[in-house]
Chain A
Amino acid sequence: MRPLIAGAAMTAALLAHAAAHAAGADSAKYSAGDKRSGYLFSSPDTRAMQDDDFQNPGMAWVDEGARLWSKADGAAGKSCGSCHGDAASTMKGVAAAYPKFNNHLGKAIDLEQRINICRQRALQAKPFPAESRELLALTAYIKSQSRGLPMHVAVDGPAAPLFAEGRKAYEEPRGQNGMSCASCHGDEAGNRRLDTVSQGQSNGFPTYRLSWQTLGSVQRQFGNCLASMKAKPLAADSQEAIALELYVAARGNGLPVETPAVRK
């Protein structure tokens, strides 16, 4: 009997060690200091969907984005690729710095706005509507070129006032419940009952949410959160929305870009 029990105990110990090791590796890859990606709050099934590009439904948007990248559109007869060449090299790391202050415009813009500005100026084409399949596809395609690279959104210089505004929007109570973003995603992250709430990091956006059955932008997620807080939605692409987007992205500086992430 004895050796058998010892053998079983050893197997159990080895299995426990293997599991701890795997969890440790994920934890290191998907965190930066105290910052933890939503990946670490996801179930093993959801993680597996994200890990396998074939199973990841968000890749359908990335594939479509690749097609749109090199498809000529608008009066100028140009495509994104006409100016920017091969996205794999020219767009690497670019999205990790968005939202970003644009000196020319004198304000900060997110990646979706950047795409639409290019469409209007360089392609002389119509901008894609917010949350349209095309805009999500191009955004996901461009941001996926930075996969694995750390988020590095600038918060100093001209972006500083907007960062402060975003922080205020994040921390100030709003809506009928008097809740703020920080009420759930601050110290309480991972602790909520009924449902596990993450730190609310945006490194994986646009994200395929299983509850949405589609890819969605970070601003759509804001709308979701605000509705559950019984608060007024932010106007799309308003300064407050962009400020909040910038603050949330900068709050996750150092976390790897995961676009297209898969979440519940």
Chain B
Amino acid sequence: MADIKARVKVPSTAAKGEIIEIKTMIAHDMESGQRKDKSGKVIPRQIINKFTCSLNGKEVFRSDWYTAVSANPYLSFFLRASESGTFDFAWHDDNGSIYKASAPITVS
């Protein structure tokens, strides 16, 4: 895949202590390493193996992914709004690439 596109959805504002939902999706083939091509050769595994979310540089969510995760993985999770700042999201590819996205939030 030429360029990997990630999308995130974070509420722009939240009250302190409120539970907020964060939605993420990344376009990725998530090649499991268990398929073979037409000549019978195993297609090497290339998946996103780790997802992290940090707020103002401090990690607040992390998830390890394995081969059973679908292509174009969608992930949503909940956090308690604590402070204003920027969420940074990172998807770690088997090939060493890290795909990034970020979104601001204002907590009042």
Q: Which residues of A contact B (CB under 8 A)?
A: 54-55, 57, 60, 63-64, 133, 210, 213-214
Contact = CB atoms under 8 A, between A and B. Distances in A.
Given A55-B74, A213-B70, A60 B27 contact: yes
B74 A57 contact: yes
A64 B27 CA distance: 10
A214 B74 contact: no
Interface string B23-37: 101010110000000
A54 B76 CA distance: 11
B70 A54 contact: no
Contact of B25 (A57, A210, A213): A57
Contact of A60 (B25, B30, B70): B25
Q: Size range of the interface on B?
A: 10 to 19
B72 interface: yes
B71 interface: yes
Contacts of B72: 57, 60, 213
Interface string B1-36: 100010101000000000000010101011000000
Contacts of A54: 7, 9, 23, 25
B48 to A, nearest CB: 14
Contacts of B71: 57, 213-214
B16 to A, nearest CB: 26
Given A55-B74, A213-B72, A64 B5 contact: yes
Contacts of B23: 54-55
Contacts of B29: 213
22 contacts: A54-B7, A54-B9, A54-B23, A54-B25, A55-B23, A55-B25, A55-B74, A57-B25, A57-B27, A57-B71, A57-B72, A57-B74, A60-B5, A60-B27, A60-B72, A210-B70, A213-B29, A213-B30, A213-B70, A213-B71, A213-B72, A214-B71
Contacts of B25: 54-55, 57, 60
Interface string B49-70: 0000000000000000000001
Given A54-B25, A213-B71, 18 more contacts: A54-B7, A54-B9, A54-B23, A55-B23, A55-B25, A55-B74, A57-B27, A57-B71, A57-B72, A60-B7, A60-B25, A60-B27, A60-B72, A64-B5, A133-B1, A213-B29, A213-B30, A214-B71
A60 B6 CA distance: 9
Contacts of A57: 25, 27, 71-72, 74
A214 to B, nearest CB: 6
Contacts of B9: 54
Contacts of A213: 29-30, 70-72
Contacts of A63: 5
Contacts of A133: 1
Nearest to A212: B71
A54 B24 CA distance: 8
A62 to B, nearest CB: 11
> Which 8 pairs across A and B sit closest by C-beta, in order of nearness?
A213-B71, A60-B27, A57-B72, A54-B9, A55-B74, A54-B23, A60-B5, A213-B70
